[in-house]
Structure formats: structure tokens, C-alpha cells
Amino acid sequence: MRRAVLADAGPLYAAADPDDAHHHRAQRELKRLARDKREVFVAYPTLAEAYTLVLRRLGKQTATQWLNDVVTGTAVLNPTPEDYHAAIKALSSFPDQAISLFDATVAAMGNRLGVEIWTYDHHFDIMQAPVWHAE
């Protein structure tokens, strides 16, 4: 595994919203990632998903600042066509689960890049994606 994590929208949003149930956890984990010198990767679709959450829930000013902070402090990556194909295949493998295409794509990218996923979503466990745990 590389010394990096691929962020899901959940922790990115939680880090921004002081009222989110996972806010303090996300803040602690960001400090842990920095202390451990782990790079944070963000997929462009995840960036768009999280930005939309911040914009709708916290407003334009907060969303603009959040976007600038994320883009400055992380490597933002495009999924490949193969990532999307793998994601679509994964979705059909779990017909009883409401897994989003966002999450399936991030799981495919994590597998391709050899990095763990920073997430709070149990769907990554179901997809057997490598999930990063702070402890």
C-alpha cells in the first residue's frame, strides 16, 4: 500500500461541518494523516459530491473556502474509464445494496492505486475495498 489514502465524501464533509456527528473524528484523522505523512488523494467526482454537500448545507462562502483548502492540500485525481467499468461491475455484483456510483468508483480507484479509502461508509467493506482506520 502507498503512503496515501483516497478520501470519500463523508470525512471530507464532516471535517468542514462542526455540527456533523463525525466532525471531531474527521479533524483528529486529518491530524493523524498529516503526522503520519500520508498524502490525501481526492477523486474529482468525490470533490464535486462533497463540495455540493458543503454548498447546500453550509453556504457559498464556506463552500468556496473549503474547495480552495481541499484543492491546495490534496492531489485531485481523475478516474480512468477502467475505474468506471470496474465500478459498474461492482454495482451489479451487489444488487441488494444501495451503493452509489461515486463510492463504487472510489473503491475501484483505491484498488487500482493500491491505497486505502478514508471513509465512514460501510459499503466499502461490502465491496471489500481496503479501508483506512486511524487506530
Domain ranges of the chain: 4-126
Inform me whether the pLDDT recorded for 52 exceeds 90.
Answer: yes
Check residue 135 and give its pLDDT.
67
Using 50, 70 and 90 to split pLDDT, how confident is the model at 133? confident
**Residue 131 Cα to chain centre, angstroms:** 11
**Residue 8 burial (10 A CB sphere; 0-12, 13-18, 19+):** buried
Q: Which fold has domain 4-126?
A: Rossmann fold (3.40.50)
pLDDT in tens, 13-50: 999 999 999 999 999 999 999 999 999 999 999 999 99
Encode 39-48: b = buried (16+ Cβ within 10 Å), e = exposed.
Answer: ebbbbebbbe
The tens digit of pLDDT for each residue in 71-106 reads: 997 999 999 999 999 999 999 999 999 999 999 999
Which residue, among 96, 67, 1, 81, has the nearest Cα to 118 in the 3D structure? 1
Task: Give the number of other CB atoms < 10 A from CB of residue 135.
Answer: 4
pTM of the model as a whole? 0.93
